[in-house]
Structure 1
Amino acid sequence: MVDAALPIESGAPQLAGAVPSADRRQIVWSSVIGTTVEWYDFLIYGTASALVFNKLFFPSFDPLVGTVAAFGSYAVGFLARPLGGIIFGHFGDRLGRKAMLSLTIIIMGLGTFLIGCLPTYAQAGLLAPVMLVALRLVQGIGIGGEWGGAVLMVVETVPAERRGLFGSIVQLGYPLGVITSTGAFALTGLMPEADFLAWGWRLPFLGSLPLIVVGLFIRLRLHETPSFRRIKSRDAVARLPVLEILTAHPRTFATAVGLKLSEIAYVSVVTVFGIAYVTGQLGLPRSVILNGILVAAIIELFTLPAFGWLSDRYGRRSLFVAACLFSIAFAFPLFWLLGSRDPLVISLTVAVAVSFGQGIMFGTGAAWMSELFDARLRYSGASLGFQVGAALSGGFTPLICAALLGGSGGATWPISVYLVVLASVTLAAALIAPETARRPID
């Protein structure tokens, strides 16, 4: 782990700065394009869970129970993400970052494409949801290995004083994935409802196939990172990196998990559970919430790099603390504003919640989570911390929120309390974690 005694100003550009600027630009934008493809594949499932799967794959239940079942299948993908982090983290720390990224985009893309080919419950009975859950597992394994490798390709290549900025640029793949996945469903949603449920919902999934080809072509052209090449040249490759992290660095691992909990819960509440809440509980057209999500994603294209840049200047911790305090303060007003039923108010509410409840931590967390671990353990440590946090919070959050809403007779205050608790846990993790901005990481 990074030496916590070093002051924030002590870092100097590290050996990664020797990489030619043209090569760095190629690595950064190649990572952005690749992560956009991966997030598109992963996120369209969340949108479909709220709009389609509860009707076509779990139709024998009443609407609320069907939604809970659909969100349960959504959670499976998050539960599989730590497995992907373990598998690809292990080989990424032993064989290199580049090879793992090529595999993850194939796994994710094929899983997504095959979902678009599935028969529905009416056509295949129980086999349909079983196959849906199996392919969601495949998606989860793919994204579990994707994030760590994509971030490390950049963080281990750029100068120390710019890791926050360039790490946040890689995170642009998420809002770009939101824009493309939500946009795809917004366009197919313009179809007549009967056509949309009959075959239109499949188009966003089938569209993953050409994206696989583009993303794979880009990733095969990348070079291995300087950090991994140095580890390889010193014959210092970890034999069992995950085991070493859990036994020798449990506090660092637990801190990384805690840093993820609030951010992923907030965005899951707003962009996944929020779709079902606004369309089902409030009875509004799906375009109202989808438009809000699109606006929020477009805003994040500008705010994510801004937060990453600010973290380079003022430190990772200060940005995280500010985000946690916002998340606590906005947990109750979030649902009060959604309950206004005003499309403009809903769009602005979603934009604010995503930008500050998720965007600050998401933009800053790429560099911080990577910097917590030594280079020889970094792929496994960053991936596992990120993905376990995502599984515990993001995977269960839509399911928990649906259950809380049903159990409280439609009241949203239990969901707000849930968000406050998770933000408090992340705040504690941020205060415990060492400040790593601008410090050498090798």
Structure 2
Amino acid sequence: MTDLRTPVDTTSDDPGYAANLRRATLASSIGSALEYFDFALYGLSTALIFNVLFFSQDDPAMATVAAFATFGVGFVARPFGGLFFGVLGDRLGRKWVLVITILLMGGASTAIGLLPTYAQIGLWAPALLVLMRLLQGFGAGAEQAGATVLMAEYAPVRRRGFFSALPFIGIQAGTLLAAVVFSLITLLPEDQLLSWGWRVPFLCSFALILVALFIRMRLRETPTFVELEKHEQVSDRPIREIFGHGLPGVIVGIGLRMAENGGSYMLNTLALTFFVAVAGSGADKSLLTWGVTLGSLLGIFTVPLSGALSDRWGRRTVYRMGALFLLLYSFPAWWLLTLGDYAIAIAVIAIGIGFGVNVMLGPQCAMLPEMFGNRHRYLGVAMARELSAVLAGGLAGVLGAYLIAVSGGNWVLLGIYMATLALITTAATFLVPETLRRDLTRTDDAVKVSRDEAGEGVASTTVTIRTVRW
């Protein structure tokens, strides 16, 4: 199979390019904002609302564990959504998949705001909540991968890290918006909060859907996918390709995401449950959401900055800095939360999200698409992102809540958990080649399987990770 060697000139004088670059940035940003608004809102509601309204209160501790399990269900659905829509994205193009996913994801989130509670319909309430969470996760499984691929393929080569990171300000904006909205609604009297107040933010998702849909319908297809179509090299079997040749890249991508994704959800949601466990049931939970708010506010600056730095220093260097920061931060952070001081807890959460997590997210936006060939890039990024979301983010809530319940709030266990995620990601940065300024029209992956070619008749095959030269 011949490879595409002619770079797509994303710095050409095409008068439509600048307009489409802006449109792509907006389309990706609003989609990211909606996804993380929904997920952050769901996470905050899990620890404070859903455990009370959607599950039996015979055992409040187990109700919280069950609520976090429904939070994890969304992560289970994400790889299936990534697989299904990733194939469509590599066969039909990036644009139309992003139109479908925003409708599916946003529609499910809006429907959550209409669900009856356990007191109204019994076990049907958590069943419907799980169903909506599955649909939400199925759509989200390709949404973020699509936004990542879209911007990397549109961005100017020498500033790909910076431009690819810009839409991920939407992640910070969505998380920030969810934290602010949730902090405001928790000011309501408890009876009003539990009767109707919690529904308002979910119903507001509908407005973001309309804005994102309007922008995406006006978007043109990415230059690199157009190049594939021009050379008649669009893949008929992206699944066969990704599992036949792209699996090493998926595995390394999963490793890269463990600390960023798992650390994010531990600090966004689990920290609230842990603080209440050690501070007592009288703790004001709503105050801690300001830690998420400040962390997201920091991320508005640290995500594009770390993306820009990766254009100068390389993707691996900046990524490794973020992983090492989180590794060193793990034990002090969870110990500080045991002090029961609100100001310290807010600072711990904000610093962990704003610097530890987001310094990895910035270079990741360009790095993951650069790791995969053009014929199966969407599917490769989706699989790396969403399988890691199950292993890191999905388990963080339910396993962390279980560790808190059985250990009585032992901070050392949670420190070990976060440090382990950071160690995995740090190791993964040594397995991936430097992808800075890689030609995205290439159809080969940056991470490949190297076979021992010592001679015929050799029974064993050695599989190693090697750097592809270009």
Superposition TM-score tier, normalisation by shorter sequence: over 0.9
For 1:227 and 1:61, the matched residues in 2 are separated by 56
* Alignment partner of 2:9 out of 15, 38, 44: 15
Equivalent residues in 2 for 1:328-367, closer than 5 Å: 328-367=327-366
For 2:109 and 2:199, the matched residues in 1 are separated by 10
- Residue 21 of structure 2 is aligned to residue 24 of structure 1: yes
| 8 Å Cα contact 1:324-1:423 kept in structure 2 | yes
State the TM-score, normalized to the length of structure 2: 0.89
1:141 is aligned to 138
For 2:265 and 2:58, the matched residues in 1 are separated by 23
| AA of the residue aligned to 2:338 | G
| 8 Å Cα contact 1:90-1:241 kept in structure 2 | yes
| 8 Å Cα contact 2:7-2:440 kept in structure 1 | no
For 1:324 and 1:213, the matched residues in 2 are separated by 37
1:38 Cα offset (Å): 2.5
For 2:345 and 2:227, the matched residues in 1 are separated by 50
Equivalent residues in 2 for 1:292-331, closer than 5 Å: 292-331=291-330
State the TM-score, normalized to the length of structure 1: 0.95
Q: Deviations over 1:251-291 (max 9, x none)?
A: 11100111111111111111111122223432321232111
For 1:354 and 1:39, the matched residues in 2 are separated by 14
In percent, how many aligned pairs have the same letter?
39
For 1:413 and 1:87, the matched residues in 2 are separated by 39
Q: Which has the larger radius of gyration?
A: 2
For 1:357 and 1:79, the matched residues in 2 are separated by 25
- Structure 1 residues not aligned, in runs of 5+: 4-10
| 8 Å Cα contact 1:256-1:369 kept in structure 2 | yes
| AA of the residue aligned to 1:436 | T
Equivalent residues in 2 for 1:12-411, closer than 5 Å: 14-18=8-12, 20-283=17-280, 284-411=283-410
| AA of the residue aligned to 1:92 | G
Partner secondary structure for residue 331 of structure 1: helix
| 8 Å Cα contact 1:16-1:227 kept in structure 2 | no
Higher RCO (C-alpha under 8 Å, 6+ residues apart): 1
1:357 Cα offset (Å): 2.1
1:242 Cα offset (Å): 2.4
For 1:75 and 1:383, the matched residues in 2 are separated by 18
> CA RMSD of the aligned region, Å?
1.7
1:433 is aligned to 432
Aligned residues: 433
| 8 Å Cα contact 2:299-2:355 kept in structure 1 | no
1:60 Cα offset (Å): 3.2
- Structure 2 residues not aligned, in runs of 5+: 442-470
More deviation, 185-194/57-66: 57-66
More deviation, 16-25/307-316: 16-25
1:79 Cα offset (Å): 0.9
For 2:440 and 2:175, the matched residues in 1 are separated by 31
1:421 is aligned to 420
Partner secondary structure for residue 11 of structure 2: helix
For 2:342 and 2:416, the matched residues in 1 are separated by 25
| 8 Å Cα contact 1:13-1:159 kept in structure 2 | no
| 8 Å Cα contact 2:155-2:164 kept in structure 1 | no
For 1:410 and 1:297, the matched residues in 2 are separated by 26
For 1:142 and 1:111, the matched residues in 2 are separated by 9
| AA of the residue aligned to 2:135 | V
| 8 Å Cα contact 1:42-1:143 kept in structure 2 | no
1:312 Cα offset (Å): 0.6
